[in-house]
Every structure is written in structure tokens, then in C-alpha cells.
Amino acid sequence: MLTPDTEYDRIYAGFRWNLPERYNIGVDVCDRWAAMDPSRIALFDVRADGQVVPIDFRHLRALSNRFAQTLIRHGVQRGDRVAILLPQSLEVAAAHVGIYKMGGVALPLAVLFGADALAYRLQNAGASVLLTDAAGLMKLAPLRAQLPDLRLLISIDGPDSGALGWHEALARESEDYQPVDTTPDDPALMIYTSGTTGQPKGALHGHRVLLGHLPGIQLPHEFMPQPGDLMWTPADWAWAGGLLNGLLPSLHFGVPVVARKFEKFDPEEAFRLMQDLAIRNIFVPPTALRMLRAVNNPRGRFDLNLRTVASAGEALGAETLHWGRDALGLTINEAYGQTECNLVIASSASIGVVRPGFIGKPVPGHRVAVIRPDGTECAPGEEGQIAVMRPDPVMFLGYWKNDEGTRAKFIKDWMITGDQAVSDEDGYIRFVGRDDDVITSSGYRIGPTEIEDCLMKHEAVALAAVIGKPDPLRTEIVKAFLVLKPGYAASDDLAAAISAFVRQRLSAHEYPREIAFVESLPLTTTGKIIRRELRARG
């Protein structure tokens, strides 16, 4: 926990980790509260018909205990991987808590995954159990022959196609269960990297990962918990952002979480949800924030009660930061991390740690630097790679069945991120781009973020992505892929006007020499632009 203060330097200097010898995520986020305050609300489960069902910690404890015993009854042992393929719901939260309490390893899977993505992760992880619904069972049916380790299916929609029914299976078990004794370093959770480059890798985390996240939650959420806090994120709980930036830390703090399934993110519905439930805290990836910008005058149209807005996953950009202040009346606090080591840089407007165009400063408890290829730290203004020093409680235990990949993730004791950045004299860190996203043109190294941010300022542009396109003269040229706002039509004249707009505001070597107008951008399930797909289009 951070000590509330108005000075970042004092907070950072005074912070010390104090990890317990025994620790279990499930006990922490559920049983602890169920013992102290059983009627305290853990979740507001928003059903498909709009009904809002409050779930207290007593009920969450009972469900998770029943699920833990269901797994044990069917031969699941400590360390076995238990996959969850479901949208935000009570069942997802109860499953996570139950898996942790019985010593299993939770394997969250995004509902947007197609057959190949599911097959790869389930097979690579050797998952023995899959909790899903009828839609998930349909996806899985043609894959079963590829998954010899998968011996138990459970569906929240009832028994079907060889799957047990969630309600029927849990009804057999007791509400009482004694959780296993675990250490902070025992495996608890495995999340696959988003796979923007190469095959996804399973980042295995210990129970300590939740404790490691707490300072990185408190800083951008202005010292959560505060009276009346209520958390919501549109991010899938299968992603580190949704699970570890939203669900689990909020439950740790006793802050209720809104569970709301979106078939497709709808900005109008998102604002209506914030209004109707008086949501105080949100975590929204940058792509979703840019979609929220399409809603005119949200404060005039909706009665919003927001206290904090945090964002991570991609560089936010100064334009979206300014929009947040104008349209929402507060500063969007940016955060940075990776699946392997999340929430290690952040901003916090309440203590003055915010600078447009910069992510923020290192979160207390984490030693973060911009380093050179030899592991030495860069001087202010010198471009290098963001790295995090080990040991660190939020850092992964390693990649699943990939020792070589784990070793390659480190230079000495620095865990490297593959993200290029620059720090300034005050310790702020500015994101430049992924190693493979940085564009080399006429001898200049160009990060896509600044150009994309500039493109977003144009009145016709809804979404933007920039890549380097091979060029025999300049090595690469800047090419932009743009989604236009309603009311604008693609044309050569508009492309020329947008190129001139960027050239006038940035420089002659940074403006896009080619523009392609597209209906949509390829995104990972976490909302990150898949630039390798754009590069393949040429």
C-alpha cells in the first residue's frame, strides 16, 4: 500500500515491499472480506436483460469454494492449468478465486479468440479443464482431437456435448472449503502475451503478482480505495489489463466491480452504464478511449460521477489527454506495463505527476530505467529500451516451457520490454514505439506514436495507425492507415490535406507519404494495433 502524500519523491523513496511468507490470491480477494464483512458487495453483475444483481463476498466465497471442490472431485491437482473462456460475469470471478484457493493455475482466454488461437494456447498450456459457455463449446468442438490433456469441460449454460453444467456440478459441493497453503512464489496465473510479434508465450505468475500490482493501481487511481469507489473496465478480464488492472486489485481493496458483457464496445452504452451505476473508477484502453471521443458532450448528456480514469496498453497521446480534461473534467492517468511485468510506470494528476506525451514516472516499488543494449542506463534525452530490474514481485516467474525465451528477456538483471523510450531530466518516460515499430527514414528514427497522435487531431480522423513501408531511397517511408469519422469520404484530396496537416505540425521527415483509408484496424484482443498485419499489406 502507498502512503498518501502530495510529493512523488517522498512516496517513491519511502516505499518498501513487505510480502508475507504465506499468501493466496483467492483468500485475499474473497475469504478475507467474507470473514470481516460478509454482506459487503464484491460485484454488480449486469445481466443481458439489464438487471443489475449485487453479489456480496459471502456469496462469492460460497461459489468459489464449490468450484474448487468440483475441480478436486474431477482429479485436478495443484499446478494444473484451468482455462476460463467467458465474458465478464460472476462465474469468471468465482472461477478465478476457486482456482487460486485449490492451488491451480488460472488460464484466462479471450472470448474473441478464434479456433487457431484457442487451440494453440490450450495445447501449449496443457490445460486440463475448460470453463466456458455454449458458444465456447461450439468453438471447441472441432479442436478436441488436438487437445489430449483437456479432460474436463464445464459450461455455465448447462450440460451439453460432454460438458458438465456449472450449476449442476457446483450444487453437489459444500459451501465450506479449506484453501491450500501457498507462498507468494507458487504459480497462480498464466496469461499469454498478445502476440503482436511471433507466437504468443505463456507468462507464468506467482500469487505475489497481485501484491505487486497494488502500488500501480493506487497511483493512477489517486490512492484507491476512497469512499464510494466503484470500478469498471470494458477490457476483457482475460487480459492482464482487465484482470490485474481492474478485477483482482479492486476486490483486494474491497472496492466493488461492475461485470458487464459487451458483444461489441458501444461508446454510448458505456457512458450510460457509467451514469446508471454511478461508476467512480474506470480502466479504459486507449483504443476504447478514442471511440468514446466520438460521443459529443458526454458531461452534458450523461450524469457522470467519475473520480479516476486510467489507461494502458498503448501510448495514450497528448490529444486524448486533452480530450479527457475537456470532455470528462478530469485527467486521464496513463500507466505502462507488459503481461510479464505490469503497471511499473504511471502518472497521477493528484500529486502533479502528469506530462502530456509522457507515460509518467516509475511506480513506487519498481526500479525502471531506459537502458542501452549493454545494460547501462541511458542519459536523459537518449533513446533506449524500457527495462525493469529484478527481483520484483509483479514480474513473471518465466515463460511456460520456454527457458530460452525467458533468458532472452533479460540483460543482466534488467527485464527488457522491447519498447523504445526516452526519459527526461525530471524522470518522466516518453514512449517511442516497439522495437519492430520504430521507422527508419532518411537516417531518422521515427516512433509511430507522435504521428498517430497528430493524425488524431485532424477533424476527419477517427482512428490512426502508422507503419514504416520499405523504400529504396529512404529505407522506409511513413505510411498511415486511417479510419474516417462519419460524414467524411476517402479521396486523394483528403489524403493530401491530412499529409499536409501532419507535415505542418511535425516535420518534413515525419509526415505520411502514403495514406490508406480503411474500414477498421487490426487489433489484438487487448486493443493494441497489430502493425505486422498492416506491414504485410504494404
Q: What is the mean pLDDT of each run of 10 residues along the chain (538 residues)?
A: 89 96 98 98 94 97 98 98 97 98 97 84 97 96 94 97 96 98 98 69 97 98 97 93 96 98 88 98 88 91 97 81 93 95 97 94 98 97 97 98 96 95 96 75 68 90 91 83 95 95 79 94 77 85
Query: 338-360 as b/e, with b when 16 or more CB fall inside 10 Å?
Result: bbbbbbbbbbbbbbebbbebbbb
Give one DSSP letter per residue of 154-188, joined into a string. Answer: EETT-SBTTBEEHHHHHHTS-S---PPP--TTSEE
The reply to whether 1-22+209-365 and 437-537 are identical in fold is no
Instruction: Give yes or no for a contact between 430 and 421, defined as CB atoms under 8 angstroms apart.
Output: yes
Options 3.40.720.10, 3.40.50.12780, 3.90.870.10, 2.40.37.20; CATH of 1-22+209-365? 3.40.50.12780
Strand duo 368-371 + 384-389: pairing? antiparallel
Helix axes of 57-73 and 90-101: crossing angle, nearest 10 degrees: 60
Distances (CA, A) of 532 to 6, 195, 300, 512, 528: 42, 10, 40, 18, 12
Per the structure block, which three cell numbers stand in for 210?
Answer: 497481485
Distance CA 230, CA 417 (A): 32
| pLDDT computed for residue 196 by the predictor | 47
d(CA 70, CA 67): 5
User: What's the pLDDT at 202?
Assistant: 96
**C-alpha grid cell for residue 11?**
512516496
Q: 24-206: which CATH architecture?
A: 3-Layer(aba) Sandwich (3.40)
Closest CA to 332 of 299, 286, 386, 297: 286
C-alpha cell at 406: 525467458
Q: Is residue 20 reached through a cis peptide bond, with omega within 30 degrees of 0 on the bond before it?
A: no
Shortest CA distance to 512 belongs to which of 477, 473, 472?
Answer: 477
Which string of DSSP letters, residue by residue, matches 248-296? HHHHHTT--EEEE--SS--HHHHHHHHHHTT--EEE--HHHHHHHTTSS
The structural domains of the chain, with segments of one domain joined by +, span: 1-22+209-365, 24-206, 437-537
Evaluate whether 38 touches 116 at the Cβ level (below 8 Å): no
Give CB contacts under 8 A, 24+ apart, made by 402-405: 402/201, 402/202, 405/201
Alpha carbon distance 357, 316 (integer Å): 8
Burial category of 415 from C-beta neighbours within 10 Å (exposed 0-12, middle 13-18, buried 19 and up):
buried
- In the CATH hierarchy, which fold is given to the domain comprising 437-537? GMP Synthetase; Chain A, domain 3 (3.30.300)
Cα 276 off chain centre by: 25
pLDDT for res 475: 73
DSSP lists the bridge partners of residue 463 as 483
Q: Are 45 and 89 in contact (CB under 8 A)?
A: yes
